[in-house]
Amino acid sequence: MKLKLLLWVLGLLLKRAFRRDPEFRAQLETRSLDWGVATEDLSIARHYRMSREGVTSGTGLPVDTELELRFADAESAVAFLLKPSPKAFLNGMMEQRVRLVGDSAQLNRLQSLLKRIR
C-alpha cells in the first residue's frame, strides 16, 4: 500500500513540476518520455506519460513504455524511491533488487527530470 501511495504522489509532483517549472517543460519540448515503475511480479505498477502537452499517469504498465524500473519487491522500491541516487541504483542492480527494462539511455533523461521536482 505504501508503494502505491508513493507512486501516486510521484504523479502529482510531476504534474506540479510541469505546471510550475519552465525548465521541466523545456526538457519535454523536444521529446516525450513514457516510463513506469513496477514490482517484478507486476502486482504494483504505475506508468507516467510526459510530453509537451502535460503529464499523465495511470495504473499498470502499457507495452509501449520506453523505460521501466522493476523492483524485486515493494520494500526495495520504497527504499530506493525515497532516497534515489546513482550509487543506490547500481547497488540495487548488482544485488538484483532493481532491473531496468527498455532504453537505458532514457534513464539519464529521467534522472534530470526528477531532479526538477520539489
Segment 42-98, tens digit of pLDDT: 999 999 999 999 999 999 999 899 999 999 999 999 988 888 888 888 888 899 999
The four Cα atoms 9, 108, 23, 20 give a dihedral, to 10 degrees, of 0
Domain boundaries, the chain: 2-114
CA distance 88 to 70: 14
- Name the superfamily (CATH) of residues 2-114: SCP2 sterol-binding domain (3.30.1050.10)
Res 118 pLDDT > 80: no
> Does 81 or 8 have the greater pLDDT score?
8
Residue 73 DSSP code: S
Q: What sections of 1-118 are H helices per DSSP?
A: 2-20, 22-29, 74-82, 86-94, 105-114
Structural contact between residues 13 and 84, judged by C-beta atoms closer than 8 angstroms: no
Res 16 pLDDT > 90: yes
Res 108 pLDDT > 90: no
